[in-house]
Chains A and B, each alone.
Chain A
Amino acid sequence: MLLKYVLRRLSIGLVQLLGLTISVFFLIRLLPADPVSRLVGMNASKEAYAQAQAQLGLDRPVLTQLSIYLGFQPDVSPGLLQGSLGVSWVTGSQVTAEIASYLPVTLELVTLSFLFAFAVAVPVGMLSALRPGGRADKGVFLYSLFAGSQPEFWWGLLFVYVFFFKLGIAPAPLGRLSPMTTPPPPMTGFILIDTLLAGQPKKFFEAAHHLMLPVLNLTFVLSGPIIKMVRQNMLRALQSDFVLYANSIGLPRKVVARYALRAAMAPSMTLIGILYGFMLSGAVLVETVFSLGGIGQYAVRSVLAFDYPAIQGVVLIITAISLVVYLLLDLIHAAIDPRIAY
């Protein structure tokens, strides 16, 4: 049952990805842009232009380009079917390899921030729901208003100013490690894991130290909506008939609180999924502030350079990750709430 459901969802996901690939393929080509002259310059000769165009494959009919991209003509160049996202027009290296080096930075940052935000938001949201209008509740209201009303990069700059410049407890916002440190050999791309795998605990702590501020920054911004949502769901659960009934048959406080929390968590999962998918590319501003070369920065660079294969690769990968995250959260939701049927 479960396996069948997962397989069905994955196959639907594949169809969605294919549809997305094709539509993005055409949408990019609708841009009033000329990637060839962008590469060769406005003053290039006709021959140079034609040569560059042929090199990029843009001289072929659009449908042929699509079929090459999808991988139906491996003799010309490998495509999706062969597991290749093509070659970046700007750097000339494989898009897959580039994404593999940029994506883990973002995943590490966003996942850690979500874990922390969740760990903070659930107890705070519960506390504020237990006494609506109480001191904790008012504090939460102020905080969500405050944290949510300022752009995240502004908070980032502020944090850098306070923690690095004034207090000096954070390192300079210059990347994942200090510029003087040699990074560990990339194995997973996640620096916290790579340093451990390389057996360099010192570098692990250095990386964690560097991650501290960006994670704090994102956690600070993300906690607002999550607290609000947990509070809302918890309030609804506490006022529900079954919690009232649980009280009226004399269940101990602890058991009643467990009933309510479980009911509040299930609907919260959905929002977390949406936020996560959004943050994969939405963390770009924070990444920029802390000079972390994440997928968001890669995406921006590709768009500015009209690097079609790179743009497509980024869209495809982020969508695929979002689909997997949604699936996982749906499974968690179903595990919490038996009313969800596969």
Chain B
Amino acid sequence: MPEVSQTAAASRTARRSDRDRWWRRMRRDWWIYLFLLPTIVGYGLYTVYPLVASWWYSFLDWPGFAQRGTFIGLENYERLISDELFWNAFTNSFIFLLIGLPLRVGLGLVLAYLLSRKAVKFRTGFRTLFFLPVVTTGAIIGMVYTLVLDSTGPVNRILTGVGILDQPIDFLGDPDTSLFAAIGVWVWKWVGITMIYWLAALQTIPQELYEAAQLDGANAWQEFRRITLPMLVPFLIIITLIDAVAAFNVFDLIQTMTAGGPTFSSEVIEIFIYRTAFETTVPQLGYASAAAVLFGLAAAVIAVVQGLGAAAARKRMVRS
């Protein structure tokens, strides 16, 4: 018993000591927290609150025009599970990710590598050209590409002109090609920013390594394979994560190019959510929120897997 009392007393003392330290730190550094307050409030209001609110809304039958919804438990989720159009949008979003992400990350790396080499002339001009679509509004690009990719547009004229196609294809109006055409436009629009990430990453590689390799007689491919790529692995993880998040934010582009059609062939999850929330006879905010939550969970799983992959990659690098 005395031992127990001593332990409890020690524990109380330790807690008091912690509390004292915390108060001391607060008295000393209070202004730091004051300056952090706007960020914390802003993050709470505009990120945490909507996130938590959408979880709550997902349990409501909320037709939008009502001030508040009715709690219906998991009914929205049960309905979603059996909603073929939800799974269609879910699948389309992942197809978008699986095809668009490697293309964007890979092309960005190739462009950055080429445009970082001194042998390439007009590098700055090319970098600007590739970056220009990034600063152009997605909706504008969507509208322009609607004309570029339609059956009477320049792409079809070229493809039929050189004999690759027998008949023009309305790339965005054909259910077989609409999603892939949208992916292509997305990669084209955003590859410039990925290229900038890679350029920044390439500048972190010490020049001496290349010089040493050249002394050893390494050619350009060997330099890339043996020096550049291994040194870029940590950046690859970060860039992939950033671009993966971007691949789930394609609303403006898809809405202006295809609006998810034809017949849902290019409907990604954001369009599904928008359609169920705002474009039905009776707005279904609870149902749309449930779709957002379910998809958010799937995206979180991807982020976790990616994080684990990053940790494993770092460990391997440290060992080697």
- Asked whether A and B interact, the reply is no
